[in-house]
Amino acid sequence: MFYWRSSIATDGEGPAVDLGFTGRSAGRGSGPYAGLNLGGHVGDDPADVEGNRTALAHELDVPRERLVLMNQVHGPDVVEVDGPWAGEPPAVDGIVTRTTGLALGVLVADCVPVLLHDARAGVVGAVHAGRPGMLAGIVTRAVAAMRDLGATTVSATVGPSVCGRCYEVPEEMAAAAASTVPSSAARSWTGTPAIDVAAGVVEQLAAADVAVQWVPGCSRESGDLYSYRRDGRTGRFAGVVTLQRDAS
């Protein structure tokens, strides 16, 4: 089920953090959605998507309703969440919480999933960072929102996404991105202009004094990850972070 998973302990000074990025294995989807598709807006059978989300929640040891996802719109907005949504998820690209037993999720198929955490302070967040979000500073805004909740030492785990060599774009688009976030400048496998969104996001995190762990993997190059650039019609994998309940 997981492409990568880890946990962070706190020596008894706060709840631990569970974080991971799902892969395509062990899911109910078929055809272009084969595997663990978690995206409900891509044309897959809603029953299969819900089954996959329920299986993920079970693996995270949280009730299904406490797996909290966003209506991602490539924007700059971040909100605090303290429980399951009352109604439809809001149109945001970042969510943060101090609530234990709540799994925050971000869905991607080439964009950069970012999991933020300060286990000792008991604050976590999930961010969807595509090219527009990178340019809008979504990760910087999410870090600020966490600090508003009391986080003091924020770390980020940056998940797999399309690499710069696989993200060919028009020259004007590449130049515009590089003028805002220089580290995003890249060249494709054939030498054409490209954007490395993950590198740009890592630059922004470092500038915000956030320690970074970068999980390797290119979504377009890995068959265990969904990629819109590779396949067009496809599913979505997830980054999930959970502030675990204190077991004492």
How far is 170 from 123, CA to CA, in rounded Å?
39
**146 lies in some domain:** yes
How far is 91 from 124, CA to CA, in rounded Å?
19
Q: Is 247 left (phi over 0), alpha (psi -120 to 50) or beta?
A: alpha
- CATH code at 131? 3.60.140.10
pLDDT at residue 67 is higher than 80: yes
How far is 88 from 85, CA to CA, in rounded Å?
7
What's the pLDDT score for residue 247? 52
- The stretch 210-232 carries a mean pLDDT of 97
Q: How many domains does the chain have?
A: 1
Q: What is the DSSP string of 157-172?
A: EE--B--GGG-B--HH
**222 lies in some domain:** yes
**134 lies in some domain:** yes
List, for residues 176-199, the tens digit of each pLDDT value: 999 999 999 999 999 999 999 999
**72 lies in some domain:** yes
What's the pLDDT score for residue 56? 98
Domain carrying residue 164: 2-243
- The stretch 199-216 carries a mean pLDDT of 98
| Residue 2 β-bridge partners | 22
pTM given for the model:
0.96
Residue percentage of the chain with pLDDT more than 90: 93
Please name the residues in contact with 36: beta carbons below 8 A apart, sequence gap of 6 or more: 1, 22, 23, 24, 25, 26, 27, 28, 29, 52, 55, 56, 235, 237
Neighbours of 167 (CB within 10 A): 23
List, for residues 141-167, the tens digit of each pLDDT value: 999 999 999 999 999 999 999 999 999
**248 lies in some domain:** no
| Residue 185 β-bridge partners | 195
**192 lies in some domain:** yes
What's the pLDDT score for residue 104? 98
pLDDT at residue 82 is higher than 90: yes
